[in-house]
Amino acid sequence: MNRSLTFTPEELSRLSQEYLAEDHHEVLQNTNITFTVLVTVTYILFNVSRGFYAGRNGWEVWTLYPFSFICCLGICIQTFLMICIGGVGRHRAYWELNDPPVFDTYLKLQTALEFIYMANVAFPKICLLILYLRIVDGKVKLITKITMGVVITNYIVSIPTIVVLCRPFAYNWDKTIDGHCVNMMDVFRYVSLPNIVTDVAIVAIPFPMLYKLQVSRERKVGLFVTFLAGGLGIFCAIIRFVEYMREDWT
């Protein structure tokens, strides 16, 4: 969506009261609470399982895993703030009529969220790939290293990219100053591609190893289903990418 988009007085006057009265912030708040609890409980259970059942914990368990959890929690907190003080849940037109500065607050929170989101995408993948490197070998190990290289490079490149999306940087939220932003739809479209590719690779890497496991067919199927379930996010990412290609919200 073009960050400088605004409504003209004529457009605002044509909007119905029913449209302006729509308010979904409670649904969004409850959904965010649910995900916050799930993320926290999952991380607690992970640490309990590692403490009781893992023979050895690598350095990443005490560094990258906590950082990944903090990033996930950071997104949840940012979402709370965007709902509570950023106006999320109501139409933008409502805030332009009743409290225009709220949208500026939303844009500031959205800008901060972009940095947290990129870290939240990269570090959980790195954690999984480090785990893979300990249990794979040969060509699969090489593919794992290449995938990790793509993930790390994508994250490193994303930081300066976010900084230069709008120039000057303050134009991300302050539209009263002289500035401009790049075509945000192009950014959404093409930044998604490396994430989808690495998601597919991360799901596919363990399959050759699982296929060779000397276990019962039932257990092998169960393991395959477990790893496939972990890749459900790929379908959401692909659907989102297709929508980005079909629509133009500028």
In the structure, what pLDDT confidence band is assigned to residue 250 with cuts at 50, 70 and 90?
low
Q: What is the mean pLDDT of the chain?
A: 84
Is residue 166 situated within a structural domain?
no
Give the count of domains, the chain: 2
Q: Judge if 238 and 142 occupy the same domain.
A: no
pLDDT tens digits, 45-62? 888 887 776 667 788 888
- The string of pLDDT tens digits covering residues 105-160 is 999 999 999 899 889 989 989 988 998 888 888 888 999 999 999 999 989 988 89
Residue 59 forms part of a structural domain: yes
Let me know whether 145 and 65 are in one domain.
Answer: yes
Per the structure, the complete domain to which residue 237 belongs is given by 183-250
With a cut of 60, say whether residue 3 has pLDDT above it: no
Same domain? For 72 and 143 the reply is yes
**What's the pTM value of the predicted model, to 2 decimals?**
0.81
The Cα 197–Cα 217 span in angstroms is 29
Record the tokens describing residue 27, joined without a space: 């649904």
Tell me the backbone φ, ψ of residue 183, rounded to 5 degrees: -70, 105
Tokens at residue 136, please? 């794979």
| Same-domain pairing of 15 and 138 | yes
- pLDDT one-digit tens code per residue, 200-211: 888 888 877 777
Task: Please check whether residues 129 and 197 belong to one and the same domain.
Answer: no
